[in-house]
Amino acid sequence: MNQQELEKQFNYRRNQMSSILEKKIFRSITHANQFFEKKTEKQLLESVGKIITSIPLPPHTTKKWFQKSYVVASDKDDFLAGKGIFYITEGRKLFLDTTAGHYQMTWGYNHPVLMKNLNQALKLGIPWDCHSNIPGFFVKKLSEKLVQICNPGTKLETLQDSNSSLNTVLLGIATGSVACSTAMKIALNYFRNNKPNRKKIVFVSINGNYHGTDFIMQRLRKMWDWIFSDNLIFEMVEPNDIEGLHKIFKTHKENICAFFFEPVMMNREAILLKKNFVQEARRLTESVDALMIVDEIQTCCWYPEIFMYKQFDITPDILILGKGLTAGFHPLSAIVYKRKLDSLKQYDAISTNGNAPLPAFMALCCLELIEKNLNKIEELGNYYEKKLHCLTQEFPELIVSIQGKGMLSGIKLKNQEIALAFHKKCLEKGIWARVHAYYEGHSTLLTKFALVATKNSIDFVIDTFRKILRTF
């Protein structure tokens, strides 16, 4: 047998083996989904943290090719299949997910209404994507819907020429990072046009915020050269520090370009900004003709108002949306802003997968589900908050405070050591949560339940937290 024939046989066997492995993983996924379909919520809760032996053990694919910064856990801990707020790992362990995936699965895994709508959309031939220059019907409809949500009770035809309303939408962006950088570019153009003689440009944000990973890369294409100098200043204020906010605005005055904030700081222990702080920030930005930019990538779609900025009784100049907008199906972000700020050229801010028809359709389905469940969303958020505060009363020596609001909440524990140990025990018991304990002073377990959570599932999680706290 010559070398060519040997290689041919080797490739055939390799392909055959690959096919066998694929069949095995699909078999395991099928059994996992059948397990979810056959079990009631009560039965699933009783099985959380257990190995589901009725599911065939799937093959494991190595993670050795991942980047060095990735925290490599065992393959058996990786995701296999999910339904609602539950998922099963490749090791066949059942978890209850308190984080809505990575904070973006608004309605959990494989929501029946969303899956039905998705399948119907595919049968109708609604494309996953198209060129951003030719947005389909659902992209245009979503832009209209976002304006309606921002301006409830106002006729659309009266909004077009308003300079004080959120009436302009950019949907040609896929990720939250690009959405944040787009908002910054709009703010820079506004600053340049309205304060041409100002030599310093100041951005104000909250210490601990997270506004994406983009923007500076455009400097590699010689864009924005006029701002990259010692005159570009970034100031940070502590959350809810009105005195610190006053100091920054008194120091920089009209040099301030924009103020960025997140209503709930999921990158800093789920700190909730207070209404009086946000309202004072709105007053100060208006006094120096600076823009207020609210980043609702985390908070949009998780409250009965849909956009949380409404709880502060303010209207921002720019609203940034992402994550839960499409309920975890295909990233699609957006910014909604005032018409007077519409200054970017067509390709100044764009993503390859922006203006995608099918994600826009899924976003409309997600928003419709929220509108049909407004009372339930509010009731569950309040219920979860109340249960968390009861834990504080039971364990005052371990819990410092409850952070956040509604489903976006955190349990700030006494110190980092306890927080890390608490998180580890949660994972052992099948409760998937996040923990902020990597900076000095950070010691908070983070949760962001998908909106399909129930009082029973919340009670189960709270009871598990209680049992764990008793072990300290």
- CATH numbers and ranges of domains, the chain: 122-372 (3.40.640.10), 374-469 (3.90.1150.10)
326 and 362 in contact (C-beta within 8 Å)?
Answer: yes
Of these ranges, 66-75, 192-201, 274-283, the one predicted with the greatest mean pLDDT is 274-283
Compute the chain's Rg from CA coordinates: 24
Give the largest CA-CA distance in the chain: 85
pLDDT, tens digit (0-9, with 9 covering 90-100), for 239-271? 999 999 999 999 999 999 999 999 999 999 999
The pLDDT value given to residue 57: 92
* 6: pLDDT strictly greater than 60: no
* 224: pLDDT strictly greater than 80: no
* 389: pLDDT strictly greater than 70: yes
- Percent above pLDDT 90 for the chain: 77
Of these ranges, 5-19, 120-134, 381-395, the one predicted with the greatest mean pLDDT is 381-395
The pLDDT value given to residue 152: 93
Please spell the DSSP secondary structure of 258-309, one letter per residue.
EEEE-SEETTTTTEEPPHHHHHHHHHHHHHTT-EEEEEETTTTTSSTTSSGG
The pLDDT value given to residue 69: 78
pLDDT (mean) for 422-443? 95
pLDDT (mean) for 118-130? 94
pLDDT, tens digit (0-9, with 9 covering 90-100), for 135-185? 999 999 999 999 999 999 898 889 988 888 999 999 999 999 899 999 999
CA dist 145 and 336 (Å) reads 11
DSSP summary character for residue 209: -
pLDDT (mean) for 193-219? 84
CA dist 435 and 433 (Å) reads 7
pLDDT (mean) for 26-52? 96
Residue 59 in tokens:
């093959």
pLDDT (mean) for 354-359? 93
Q: Which of 4-8, 93-97, 448-452, 468-472 has the lowest mean pLDDT?
A: 4-8
Q: What distances in angstroms separate CA 344 from CA 191, 200, 226, 360, one per listed residue?
A: 13, 21, 16, 22
The pLDDT value given to residue 438: 81
* 219: pLDDT strictly greater than 90: no
The pLDDT value given to residue 2: 58
Residue 98 in tokens:
């308190």
Q: What distances in angstroms separate CA 4 from CA 7, 10, 15, 82, 164, one per listed residue?
A: 5, 10, 17, 45, 73
* 462: pLDDT strictly greater than 90: yes
Please spell the DSSP secondary structure of 189-202, one letter per residue.
HHHHHH-TT---EE
The pLDDT value given to residue 17: 52
pLDDT (mean) for 76-100? 96
Helix, strand, coil % in the chain, rounded to nearest 5: 45, 20, 40
| Other residues' Cβ atoms within 10 Å of the Cβ of residue 14 | 10
User: What integer best gives the mean pLDDT of the chain?
Assistant: 92
**Residue 221 binned pLDDT confidence (cut-offs 50, 70, 90):** low
* 371: pLDDT strictly greater than 70: yes
The pLDDT value given to residue 234: 87
DSSP summary character for residue 408: E
Specify whether the backbone of 306 is left (phi greater than 0), alpha (psi in -120 to 50) or beta: left
pLDDT (mean) for 16-43? 86
**Residue 274 binned pLDDT confidence (cut-offs 50, 70, 90):** very high
The pLDDT value given to residue 173: 92
Please spell the DSSP secondary structure of 426-454, one letter per residue.
HHHTTEE-EEE-SSTT--EEEEE--TT--
The pLDDT value given to residue 233: 87
The CB-side HSE value for 72 (13 A sphere, CA atoms) comes to: 9
* 461: pLDDT strictly greater than 70: yes
The pLDDT value given to residue 216: 66
pLDDT (mean) for 403-407? 97
